[in-house]
Structure 1
């Protein structure tokens, strides 16, 4: 049966297992995609995905008709990933990292990379750098918001992003050299 999002939400608000199952199946790929972008490991992405759905179903009564289902699911999933990140890695004795300076040369070769290649390269980043990169570049949070979410200073968020971008440039360059050598 093809139910609209509104019908699915109403069924989920009534705690109907049938509606919850259809909703889960409909949005599983979407939520898993977000989860995978915040974890290097499929098992962890599964945990984030399942916890995100549990949080969604647990808070479904608060969902308003005017809200976007995907936007709400995305916010829940990103926040769940952040919670897992905090549990896994504590920023102990975090000191203010001074701003790195230097001119970075852009690698204008991204059009030569497939989407999966880019995802694989991002997954090679250090966990804290990857988290800052995703929150800032993909989710659109400000450095202040990233810092608040991760327990960093604003300047540390900037430095982590700069380091992530620098490392990505190096990885892209190495990937392209490897690709050309084939």
Structure 2
């Protein structure tokens, strides 16, 4: 975990404001894992995530003069990475490379909560397997805490579409959990 207010962090940020390449490298190294984790949530694969990450760091370095030292740097940078991921998603929609989500069959969700069944890594892997529209709505709502009207505005979709995509994401995740539990149950029976 990065200590936000340490003198070293402040010096690195001030160096980045002066466009010092060593400071930029230090900042990139220091926040790489956090930023990549965010970018992976908004991409289909690691290559896309790296592209989002690099675009995001470019925006960080370009706009670092606007950073308010009174606020946590990680929150400021995370917002830039998240917005860069959303921009990536919007571009994919415009280029027509997002899967048509209306063609998927949906299974009704149980009352069981997903969080009771999974650890973080399992959930992240399952979220990553969702279609891009579902994954983006789920990330923004369930993980980043945005409301549907905010998601609607960010993605250029109707509020109802945001709600529908979240509902369908939850259904798909619940099915993945049921499937995983079924497989684990069979493995335990065989042993």
TM-score norm. by structure 1 comes to: 0.88
C-alpha spacing 1:8/1:138, structure 2 compared with 1 (3 Å): same
Partner of residue 185, structure 2: 180
Unaligned runs of 5+ in 2: 1-5, 97-101
Match runs of 1:6-155 below 5 Å: 6-90=10-94, 104-108=109-113, 110-155=115-160
Shift of 1:91: 9.6
Q: Quote how far apart the aligned CAs of 1:56 are.
A: 0.2
Change beyond 3 A, Cα 1:109–1:35: closer
The structure 1 segments of at least 4 consecutive aligned residues displaced by more than 6 Å after TM superposition are none
**1:181 Cα deviation (Å)?**
1.2
- TM superposition score normalised by structure 2: 0.84
Alignment of 1:164 onto 2:169: yes
CA RMSD in angstroms comes to 2.1
User: Does the Cα contact within 8 Å between 1:32 and 1:49 map onto a contact in 2?
Assistant: yes
Take 1:58 and 1:108, find their aligned partners in 2: how far apart are those partners? 41
Shift of 1:108: 4.2
SS at match of 2:94: coil
1:49–1:108: structure 2 CA closer, same or farther, 3 Å change rule? same
Give the SS at the match of 1:4: helix
Cα shift readout 1:54-96 (whole Å, capped 9, x = no counterpart): 100000111121121100111000000011101111398xxxx
In the alignment, the residues of structure 1 paired with residue 108 and residue 186 of structure 2 have an alpha-carbon distance, to the nearest angstrom, of 28
Give the number of equivalent residue pairs: 173
Distance 2:162 2:117 in 1: 29
Please list every run of 5 or more consecutive structure 1 residues that lacks an aligned counterpart in the other structure: none
1:146-176 deviation digits (Å, cap 9, x = unpaired) = 0011111111111111111111111111111
